[in-house]
Amino acid sequence: MTSSGTASPLGVGASIATDPDALLALGTPPPVETDGGATLLEWLRARRAAGPIWQDERGHYHLFRHADLLDVVADPVTYSSDTVTRPSGGAESPPPGTLLLMDPPAHRTMRRLVTKAFSARRVNDLGPRITELATELLDGISARTPEADGAVEVDLVDAFANPLPVTVIAELLGVPFTDLDRFQKWADCLLTDRMDDEKGAERLNTTILEMRDYLQGRVDIRRAEPAEDLIGTVVSAEVDGRTLTDQEAINFAALLLLAGHVTTAVLLGNTLLCLDTAPGEWAALRADPSRIPAVLEETMRLRPPFLAIERVTTAPVELCGEQLPENAVIHLWLLSANRDERVFADPDVFRPNRSETPQIAFGHGIHHCLGASLARMEGKIAMELMLERFAEVEVRRDVELWWHQDNVLGARHLPLRMLPDSRD
């Protein structure tokens, strides 16, 4: 994986001396992994100023402004989520039951089925267990050998931000404790390996097959031995006389593993990155933890876990003054919309308790992220416990940061210095 240096490690409020004309001449968006997103943010700023829509060298279209994104995601009839079948001319089809790639009415039926399994009550009931797991992980961090000033050094991602959500999702699905390491390995592979790399593609294909076989086994067990875990609830849920097929149940579980893991793990890392740019904010949060939800929302605005989502036109349509053909692929830049100067004052500034239009990191409309409430709960509990235990937390700027690739905005590893509260 490509690593970044520490000159501009955050991509939050960063400003670089880049010629806007040179940025606009780029045929593809600048990758995050080169500098943590700093150049990408400048490119998006230049694109928003140049116009609402842009067509790249592949013929794909890109939208950058908040209002335009909302218009597109609010119209699933004109803009399909099936980015597999339509662009391929029907040569391929999305995996059965993959909510992200489904349109109404099939999406409506599937969403109702899985919502029964992933209910607000089920998520709320997870609070005590999330607290227990987070406490155990933080105990391990606190037990590390301290430096002279009492601070401990830790990679937040490896020690806390990754294992917490993976364990929560695995337990929610009903995975035995002895299989948690396997789930962690799969989640890491799905998030970090790439199909355009020979070894990465091999690992991804192996992981997908292993996950499919494992989840099929769990589905078989729950059909024979019903239980109230998520897989058990999914395979027994019924709407309008219909239950999920094995393949639909497996794909939903796999999607939940990846999406549930990424959103929380990246949210926690990004929150610490944002707080590191705001002197005094950690102490202010310790004095008033009720502000944590506002901090999480502002973090998701500045650094949404996913850069963009995609839609495909179902017929020729005019969009932002451009004539788009049927089956045109459109990239909706969540990162850009969340920093749109037309909506947010000082959009690159970390400012909790904003009064402007809400951020759209979790999407909008019928495809609003099903796991958003779980990510927010995990983030809130994790931050409460860290604030109670540590008087100061800072990102180590003397260590090279490694960034996720492709469509994820976050640090793959995040080295921190954490100073325990002297009262503990």
Q: What is the pLDDT of residues 202-261, one digit of tens each?
A: 888 888 899 899 999 999 999 999 998 889 988 888 777 888 889 888 888 888 877 778
Return the closest-CA partner of residue 362 out of 305, 403, 406, 324: 305
**Cβ atoms of residues 311 and 72 within 8 Å:** yes
Going by pLDDT thresholds of 50, 70 and 90, the confidence category of residue 195 is low
What integer is the mean pLDDT of 134-157? 93
Mention the CATH class of domain 52-398: mainly alpha
Round the average pLDDT of the chain to a whole number and report it.
87
What integer is the mean pLDDT of 92-108? 79
**Cβ atoms of residues 361 and 262 within 8 Å:** no
Return the closest-CA partner of residue 261 out of 183, 334, 335: 183
Q: What is the secondary structure of 59-74 as a DSSP string?
A: S-EEE--HHHHHHHHT
What integer is the mean pLDDT of 99-104? 82
Answer yes or no: is pLDDT of 61 > 50.
Answer: yes
How far apart, in whole angstroms, are the C-alpha atoms of residue 244 and residue 118? 14
Answer yes or no: is pLDDT of 343 > 50.
Answer: yes
For residue 6, what pLDDT is reported?
Answer: 33
CA end-to-end span of the chain: 39
Higher confidence at residue 76 or residue 364?
76
In angstroms, what is the C-alpha Rg of the chain?
22
How far apart, in whole angstroms, are the C-alpha atoms of residue 201 and residue 299? 32
**Domain limits, the chain:** 52-398
Higher confidence at residue 188 or residue 38?
38
**Cβ atoms of residues 12 and 274 within 8 Å:** yes
